[in-house]
Structure 1
Amino acid sequence: MSRVLLRHRRILTGDPARPVVTGLLLDGEVVVAAGDAQSLAADAASTVDLPGTVVMPGMYDAHIHTANLARDLVSVDLRGARSLDEALDLLRTHVADLPQDAWVFGGRWDSNRWQGPARPDRHALDRVAPGRKIALPSIDGHSIWASSAALAAVGYTRDTPDPAGGQIVRDERGEPTGVTRESANQPFREIMNDPSTDDLDPLLRAAQQELLSVGLTSVHDIDGEDCRAAYLRLKAAGDLMMRVHKAIPVQALEQAVHEGRRTGDGDDWFATGPVKLFGDGALGSHTAYLSEAYADSPADRGISVTPPDELLRLTRLATSAGIAVATHAIGDAAAVDVLDAYERVLAEGPLPSMPDGTALRLRVEHAQHLRPADVDRMARLGVVASLQPTHCTSDIDLADRLLAGHELASYAWAGLLRAGAPVAFGSDAPVEEPNPFHGLYAAITRQRPDGSPDGGWQPEQRLSLQQALDAYTVGAAYAAGQDQRKGRLLPGRLADLICVDRDPFEVTPTELRDTRVLATYVGGTCRWEAPLT
């Protein structure tokens, strides 16, 4: 195969030993040499001059819901609503041209930001869209706001018991209000993910272009089996433009084991990832599982979605079959349960290896609010902390209000790194925007986009820019067991890179947040290019 030289005056490799080069020599999709472009030119059959101010490794989102992100492109968006009335106005406009019998999904409502006392319930939806089946996930994805017709469609009545690990919220008469939480959302999720309700393939094609445009070259996708099937169809059609590490939903774990799937199966474009388990819910939904009660609800500690014995059983089942485990834990009590299960499994012997010989990774997804002792325990066990920096800056007010008086290590990125825990960054899009430069800004400032609070929230947990970049590149690759293939522009690594309009090390944090990607290369081929202006 003919070798190609990618040339630029400033290529950031991510390698501390040689951080800047001017040339990358490629053989197919792989870098075979990195160094002085003039010296490498003799071995190249052709040369490509890269655009922009700086070239840097492609970003790797360690936790993203790409199917949900894709569906949101054509769903009602309530994130901008600041009251119940505003949310209902947006919904009324959205449903006006839809068939009466069509399900209405989307939403991303955040009642924590609404002004006034009105809260979501089925009666409000019934007023603006009578008889319609509506199921709208909250911004954090852990609650659903449903209409009366939607509740009837899934069989929820006053006599329906709460499922284990979930809640059908009820009024003072015992009637469902229209809000469900955690495992009680599952019947709606199954309808949302039913291939007959939408055509995911074209939506994913559009979504991957959005992700490439913000500099993402690889993702850990956390969505369902329908998403897996859609990606495999895109790959077979030659339409997959970014690399996908695809998680297994817990509902499909036994099927995956039966089929012989193992973490790391596949190739550089599409590979099997970990099973996704759930320890709890989310802070904004009051379902994050805490050791102490919520400050505004003295009888409420959240929801333990998966009991400790079941977490242990599922972790054993997965790892014994060669499947890594990534468990959602936002509250400190949930993190305790998850780490207890991991510690017991690790004590039983070494974990199996992936097909390439790399040991399976155990991960805690979010790890937002930890007991200080568990920061060190994660490091001691080698458990990956899979974190999303913009969750911190979005949740500052929420954490201050709901966790007042709790002694916790919250969004403890610097503390985890100091302790020696592996750290990977992602976005959790569409809960947050997928743009990794927004995450970098949050990680180094711990401030909202407007620069508040002064000095950052709990500023001792701020990271250096290099630490944050590492978490978005080689850290995310390590979480997948792919750090020998991705994350740095070195010989033997994949030629996944982005060309940007400014040097991240020579701009202010605000300017960093506004970085524009000019071109995204995956496997040495330009997969996205900014339109000419």
Structure 2
Amino acid sequence: MPALFRHPRVHTGDNRPGVTGILVTDGVITATGDANQLAALHTGLDVVDLPGELVLPGMHDAHIHTAAVARSLVGLDLRAATSLADALALVRAHVDTMPDGAWIFGGRWDSNKWQVPVQPTAADLDQVSNGHPIALSSIDGHTMWANTEALRLAGITADWADPPGGEAVRDADGNPTGILREEAQGPIESLYEGPASGDLASLLLLAQDELLSVGLTSVTDLNGEDARAAYLRLKAEGNLKIRVTKGIPRDSLAAAIAEGRRSGIGDDWMRVGAVKLFSDGALGSRTSHMSRDFHGYPGNHGMPVMTTAQLYDAARTAVDAGIAVATHAIGDQANHLVLDVYERIRAETGTRLPLSIEHTQFLQPADVERLVRLGVTASMQPTHCTSDIALVDALLPDTDLVAYGWRSLIDAGAMVAFGSDAPVEEANPFFGLHAAVTRQRPDGTPDGGWRPDERIAIDEAIAAYTSGSARLAGDFDRKGRITPGRLADFIAVDTDITGDAVATDPGRIRDTRVLQTVVGGRTRWSRD
């Protein structure tokens, strides 16, 4: 039966005023306009009055690791730790709840924010391990803290050679200290991401409700093939409630091509996305590839994870097979080199496949125009900016780089898509909208925002989190706005974040609560 969804305030995303009704048939929006007029023109409607103060298009997280989000529901969380001692106490408490010999995974530790920012070691973890192998990812996911048992099981010893794009930190005698950076995490990840993490499909079923509850109706997932298999299982069982664009890990690219996967293949619930490549690491781990040294760390300007030649070969292989490319780049030198690769591929192939830079945190000013000219999407996560303020000020003081520059990019005509990078940051898109508009931490600091010239308007931020993400996923004609012909994905919230009251008190954006989430014309989550 066709349904008429009614609400006095509908933000359609295309600047159409006066919409109070959304007519939906078979999961697709067939008309929008005045609710009374729509009701008069159509009989036999199921009328649904949406709650709250505003209806928005469903949010689309352009960069999220949903398998990691799902595993975080049962994994160890060290974000509350303010010191090494705190972290070890939390590990000990978690160990006591686990069966003998089980892997301890999770983490999300951030030694940069500890009262004494020391680098932890395997020996520290060994004190509280009680025989368990332990592997704990840092908050940015680019560093792992492992104990001696985990290192042993993975074969990481003094004789183990660092892989390209990775490093096992070593002591004066050459023994691994327990800190693994970038690609050096792989041997342990391959061990604990299997049965040790539980049934991923069941965890994703729980995670879906978490994501729906914050207004996400679509995600671009950048986890591995195990997540793809789990989503396919949920879909086959009729349990997929959120739309998924599924990325391809670099090490699965050849197999994906052999299977015939191409970007865009699939249906409205699950489609093939881009291959995920890496140019560098992360700022917090001081592995982001910069054109200058980090302040206080002479000789350290980060590290490339893949050489330019490797990036080109992988990206060209993907494009030739009809697969889009999404490349992680944080440092300005990493972004510059990715643009070099993309420029060469555009020139050689003329491809119109989506090419994106994931994070796009630091750009050389001249590269802003180049990104626009090449039609590259800046896939950004606004809460990274507000989480990193102190880190940027410490490591890159007085930098003249374009830093988390969504205003500069939008003004230059760039395509911008927003996401969260959860579980590195919280998945809640209203946290990201707040960060994009204010450039302030949750406590309202700094006054006026950090680098306030890069703030954007709420309408621009909403667009980046909806139509911008849909465009990058190749779904702009089906998602991202509340208009006829698009999928009936929308949310009702308790705050009119587009109104004058919020304009004078933008902190309210962050406090916004979702009351109802509709996907495909059906209520998939409700606060009631």
TM (norm. structure 1) is: 0.96
Give the equivalent residue in structure 2 for 1:23: 21
Give the equivalent residue in structure 2 for 1:439: 432
**1:97 offset after TM fit, Å?**
2.1
Structure 2 Cα separation of the partners of residues 286 and 100 of structure 1: 35
1:330 lines up with 2:327 in the alignment: no
Q: Could you say what secondary structure the match of 1:444 adopts?
A: helix
**1:194 offset after TM fit, Å?**
2.0
Give the equivalent residue in structure 2 for 1:13: 12
Give the equivalent residue in structure 2 for 1:346: 346
1:471 lines up with 2:470 in the alignment: no
Structure 2 Cα separation of the partners of residues 118 and 34 of structure 1: 57
**1:193 offset after TM fit, Å?**
2.5
Query: What one-letter code is carried by the residue in structure 1 that aligns with 2:497?
Result: P
8 A Cα contact 2:83 2:117, kept in partner: no
Give the equivalent residue in structure 2 for 1:521: 518
Structure 2 Cα separation of the partners of residues 452 and 106 of structure 1: 29
**1:120 offset after TM fit, Å?**
0.7
> CA-to-partner distance for each residue in 1:470-517, whole Å, 9 max, x for gaps?
000000001111111101000111110001111112222111110111
1:412 lines up with 2:405 in the alignment: yes
**1:130 offset after TM fit, Å?**
3.6
Structure 2 Cα separation of the partners of residues 44 and 471 of structure 1: 36
1:379 lines up with 2:377 in the alignment: no
> CA-to-partner distance for each residue in 1:141-166, whole Å, 9 max, x for gaps?
00000000000001011111111000
Give the equivalent residue in structure 1 for 2:64: 64
Quickly say closer, same or farther: Cα 1:405–1:15, change in 2 above 3 A.
Answer: closer
Q: Could you say what secondary structure the match of 2:104 adopts?
A: coil
**1:53 offset after TM fit, Å?**
1.5
Structure 2 Cα separation of the partners of residues 307 and 48 of structure 1: 55
**1:140 offset after TM fit, Å?**
0.1
8 A Cα contact 1:191 1:197, kept in partner: no
Q: Could you say what secondary structure the match of 1:499 adopts?
A: strand
8 A Cα contact 1:13 1:20, kept in partner: no
Give the equivalent residue in structure 1 for 2:507: 510
Alignment of 1:182-221 (within 5 A): 182-195=182-195, 197-221=197-221
**1:404 offset after TM fit, Å?**
2.0
**1:44 offset after TM fit, Å?**
4.4
Query: What one-letter code is carried by the residue in structure 2 that aligns with 1:472?
Result: Y
**1:195 offset after TM fit, Å?**
4.5
**1:51 offset after TM fit, Å?**
1.5
Give the equivalent residue in structure 2 for 1:449: 442
8 A Cα contact 2:245 2:273, kept in partner: yes
Alignment of 1:237-252 (within 5 A): 237-252=237-252
Query: What one-letter code is carried by the residue in structure 2 that aligns with 1:378?
Result: L
Structure 1 Cα separation of the partners of residues 383 and 18 of structure 2: 29
Structure 2 Cα separation of the partners of residues 379 and 43 of structure 1: 45
Structure 1 Cα separation of the partners of residues 279 and 481 of structure 2: 33
Q: Which runs of 4+ in 1 moved over 4 A?
A: none
Structure 2 Cα separation of the partners of residues 238 and 491 of structure 1: 26
Structure 2 Cα separation of the partners of residues 123 and 512 of structure 1: 44
Quickly say closer, same or farther: Cα 1:118–1:291, change in 2 above 3 A.
Answer: closer
Give the equivalent residue in structure 2 for 1:354: none
8 A Cα contact 1:28 1:524, kept in partner: yes
TM (norm. structure 2) is: 0.97
> CA-to-partner distance for each residue in 1:336-364, whole Å, 9 max, x for gaps?
1111110000001321xxxxxxx420000
8 A Cα contact 1:292 1:406, kept in partner: no
**1:57 offset after TM fit, Å?**
0.6
Aligned length: 522
Give the equivalent residue in structure 2 for 1:75: 75
8 A Cα contact 2:57 2:491, kept in partner: yes
Quickly say closer, same or farther: Cα 1:14–1:44, change in 2 above 3 A.
Answer: farther
User: Which residues of structure 1 form unaligned runs of 5+?
Assistant: 352-358
Q: Could you say what secondary structure the match of 2:7 adopts?
A: strand
Query: What one-letter code is carried by the residue in structure 2 that aligns with 1:511?
Result: R
8 A Cα contact 2:95 2:130, kept in partner: no
Q: Could you say what secondary structure the match of 2:356 adopts?
A: strand
Give the equivalent residue in structure 2 for 1:40: 38
Alignment of 1:279-298 (within 5 A): 279-298=279-298
Alignment of 1:396-411 (within 5 A): 396-411=389-404
1:368 lines up with 2:361 in the alignment: yes
Alignment of 1:472-511 (within 5 A): 472-506=465-499, 507=502, 508-511=505-508
**1:288 offset after TM fit, Å?**
0.4
8 A Cα contact 1:25 1:44, kept in partner: no
Structure 1 Cα separation of the partners of residues 43 and 411 of structure 2: 43
Query: What one-letter code is carried by the residue in structure 2 that aligns with 1:380?
Result: R
**1:197 offset after TM fit, Å?**
4.5
8 A Cα contact 2:2 2:44, kept in partner: yes
Report the RMSD for the aligned CA atoms in angstroms. 1.1
Give the equivalent residue in structure 2 for 1:389: 382
Give the equivalent residue in structure 1 for 2:126: 126
> CA-to-partner distance for each residue in 1:59-115, whole Å, 9 max, x for gaps?
110000000000000011001100000000000000102122111100110000111
8 A Cα contact 1:200 1:227, kept in partner: yes
Moved more, 93-102 or 257-266: 93-102
8 A Cα contact 1:3 1:44, kept in partner: no
Query: What one-letter code is carried by the residue in structure 2 that aligns with 1:145?
Result: W
**1:19 offset after TM fit, Å?**
3.7
> CA-to-partner distance for each residue in 1:213-241, whole Å, 9 max, x for gaps?
00000000010000000001001111111
Structure 2 Cα separation of the partners of residues 116 and 22 of structure 1: 55
1:272 lines up with 2:272 in the alignment: yes
Structure 2 Cα separation of the partners of residues 173 and 44 of structure 1: 80
User: Which residues of structure 2 form unaligned runs of 5+?
Assistant: none
